[in-house]
Amino acid sequence: MKEHNWIKIALTPFSWVYGLITNLRNLGYDHQLFASKKASQFVISIGNLTVGGTGKTPVTEYLTSLFSGNAPTAILSRGYGRQTRGFIEAGSASTPAEIGDEPMQYFLKFNPDVLVAVCENRFVGAENIALSAPERKLLLLDDAFQHRAIARDVNLLLNDFQRPFYQDLPFPAGRLRETRNGAKRADAIIVTKAPLTLAGHLREDITRAIRQFSKPETPIFFSSLEYGAPKSYAGGDISLKKVKMAAGIANPLPFAAYLRARFDVTDEVVFRDHHNYTPADVEELIKNLKNDTFVVTTEKDMVKLKPLVEASGAAGKFAYIPVKVSFGSDTGRFHEWIFKQTGHLFQAER
């Protein structure tokens, strides 16, 4: 622990430099030295200050489910980790290597109701969507808080309950992509991965800590992750007792804790975030796997693993746990706020 602290102290001056650079960049946008172009659609951005998983994918899926039944919706992502460049619209032949694992998950879950596309330049991507699908009036930007070249109508900032931005530093001493004052650009802040039952005094403490860096009027909402029934890679629900965890996500700790609390976890295999799985990985995961034990992954990992697992003939030994966001007691307040922002444009059910 002491060694870690010394490393952090040694890197802190570099964080100051990095933070200064990001502050200058943001000032350039604030004072219109750099242009933020307005897209044709109504734009809601979902992002964070922190590198790694703060729950953007479940929140994006929550908003998609909330709006897509009544407002023609598109999701635009950078497609992190893909092996391609430029604008690509997801289709039936798309693969995670082509569009990225999270966009692939969106496509598999919401096609054909929602258009899913990737482009590293979000404004170019938005205009391509406007040309090919002008009926898509709502655009959800996945992970675009720092991508200021495209203007947004609603800017949502996520704050991980377990790794709050207000206790962190910019890279390299910390995990922040910019300084904590970036929270002032948020129209609302969502605390993600909070316990389902969070004591009132803790909510107040967290709210007070966030308010040091946000605008005073910015609403703050609390949300939790809800894990669903295990699903077999072969299809359908499955009953599990003994499991071997495999996860290639930014923060596997909540997933691991969930599995430990409900199943007999015999082993935990952690890959780096956005890991590109190989047949050798599948072979290693099922090596010496007992008949009563299943390999259990996240839904995000399933998207990339499933074709390899099916090719190996081991789909019956793999399962995944779907996850979704719950706003709990904040549900009504969040819905009222988000529908107020969208105004008369979207007739979403309340």
**Confidence at 348, pLDDT banded by 50, 70, 90:** very low
What pLDDT is stored for residue 346 in this prediction? Answer: 54
Asked whether the beta carbons of 214 and 186 are under 8 A apart, the reply is: yes
Least confident among 52-56, 261-265, 287-291 = 52-56
Residues 92-102: tens digit of each pLDDT: 999 999 999 99
Q: Give yes or no for residue 350 having a pLDDT over 60.
A: no
Task: Report how far residue 336's alpha carbon sits from residue 326's, in angstroms, rounded to the nearest whole number.
Answer: 15
Domain spanning 42-225+326-345: which superfamily? P-loop containing nucleotide triphosphate hydrolases (3.40.50.300)
Q: Indicate the residue type of 227.
A: Y
- H or E stretch at 232: strand 231-232
> In the beta sheet, which residues pair with residue 339?
none
Task: Report how far residue 182's alpha carbon sits from residue 157's, in angstroms, rounded to the nearest whole number.
Answer: 10
51 is in an annotated binding site: yes
57 is in an annotated binding site: yes
115-133 average pLDDT score? 97
Task: Report how far residue 298's alpha carbon sits from residue 243's, in angstroms, rounded to the nearest whole number.
Answer: 13
86 is in an annotated binding site: no
Q: Where in the chain is the domain with CATH 3.40.50.300?
A: 42-225+326-345
56 is in an annotated binding site: yes
Cβ count near 326 (within 10 Å): 16
Report the share of the chain in percent with pLDDT over 90: 85
Asked whether the beta carbons of 293 and 242 are under 8 A apart, the reply is: yes
52 is in an annotated binding site: yes
What pLDDT is stored for residue 4 in this prediction? Answer: 61
DSSP state, 329? G
238-259 average pLDDT score? 93
φ, ψ for residue 256 (rounded to 5)?
-65, -45
What pLDDT is stored for residue 182 in this prediction? Answer: 97
What pLDDT is stored for residue 274 in this prediction? Answer: 86
47 is in an annotated binding site: no
Mean pLDDT of the chain: 93
User: What is the DSSP secondary-structure string of 147-181?
Assistant: -TTB--SEEEEEEESSS-GGG--BTTTSSBSS-GG
Q: State CA 54 to chain mean position distance.
A: 6
Instruction: Please count the residues of the chain.
Output: 350
Residues 289-346: tens digit of each pLDDT: 999 999 999 999 999 999 999 999 999 999 999 999 999 999 999 999 999 998 766 5
Task: Report how far residue 319's alpha carbon sits from residue 294's, in angstroms, rounded to the nearest whole number.
Answer: 7
- 331-342 vs 56-67: helix crossing angle, rounded to 10: 70
What pLDDT is stored for residue 81 in this prediction? Answer: 85
Q: Where in the chain is the domain with CATH 3.40.50.2300?
A: 229-321
Domain spanning 229-321: which superfamily? Response regulator (3.40.50.2300)
Handedness of CA 143, 148, 149, 151 (dihedral sign): positive
Q: Give yes or no for residue 51 having a pLDDT over 90.
A: no
100 is in an annotated binding site: no
50 is in an annotated binding site: yes
